[in-house]
Amino acid sequence: MPKPRETAVYTHGHHESVLRSHTWRTAANSAAYLLGSLKPHMRVLDIGCGPGTITADLAELVPDGHVTGVDHAPGILERARATAAERGLTNVDFAVADVHALDFPDDSFCVVHAHQVLQHVGDPVRALREMRRVTRPGGFIAVRDADYAAMTWYPESPGLDDWLDLYHRVSRSNGGEPDAGRRLKAWALRAGFGSADITATSATWTFATPAERAWWSGLWADRTLASAYAERATGGGHATGERLRAVSRAWREWGEREDGWFTVLHGEILCRKEA
């Protein structure tokens, strides 16, 4: 078997401004398309589990089963374990893993789930093949990814236009694909899934209330200046510190607009492995 391509550099890192977003995520707001397929006895693999909030929700939904959360970054797993412990969950464990080469036997899980993962990996088609390999016949592979080019907002903001252009360039220079959402079905077909076995859907997050705008704009304003993304933007020659400060100000200005509205489009695929 050929050696898997090296995983792309994770653009965001795990700065507090990033975890502010990741810990907000739940199975309800980030994996609703999967929930109707879950059964209490199922064994689930959650890839790219981060701080473990979705993982913990999945564990509660399979009380007679088990959930394994994995992430490529060892440090974040302590946060995930703490999340599970705080909720008193005993049917969940965590491990370090690379989605290109999962350290699990064939046919190990009823469901393999990945939220906001494939946009950050070096070879998403190989990742999907690995996810299918460790899924039991008749089981499901569930993948959801944002599509940055499809994000839209009001009112118009040259600063946010600059943010989007900059984010695309930084992410792609790191080996990722920020417009992954629209590509999920195509990647699944290339990974060997039949068209009839793929259910492709989409869903959005919308930020429009004063509290939502303040939260969303604040985390991006901070992320633009202080996260690994900021370091990679300047270190890679994509932006100066002055440009990042201007983008950060644009985020805060948008967040203060009473008429402000922002939506994040996600592509979703629910693939069934042939029995």
Structure confidence at residue 11 (pLDDT): 55
Return d(Cα 29, Cα 113) in angstroms, integer.
14
Largest CA distance in the chain: 56
Q: Are strands 109-115 and 135-146 parallel, antiparallel or unpaired?
A: parallel
- 87-139 confidence digits (pLDDT tens): 999 999 999 999 999 999 999 999 999 999 999 999 999 999 999 999 999 99
Q: Exposed (0-12), middle (13-18) or buried (19+): which is 107, by Cβ within 10 Å?
A: middle
Q: How confident is the model at residue 230 (pLDDT cuts 50, 70, 90)?
A: confident
Give the pTM: 0.93
Contacts of 88 (CB under 8 A, 6+ apart): none
Instruction: Tell me the CA end-to-end span of the chain in Å, nearest whole number.
Output: 24
- Take residue 57 and report the two structure tokens written for it: 């929700």
Confidence (pLDDT) at 219: 92
pLDDT digits (tens, 9 = 90+) for 12-41: 555 565 567 688 899 999 999 999 999 999
Q: Find the Cα–Cα–Cα–Cα dihedral 266, 166, 160, 211, rounded to 10°.
A: 60
Percentage above 90 pLDDT, the chain: 86
pLDDT number for residue 17: 57
**What is the residue-averaged pLDDT of the chain?**
93
State the residue for tokens 């975890």.
19
Q: Please tell me the predicted confidence (pLDDT) of residue 226.
A: 85
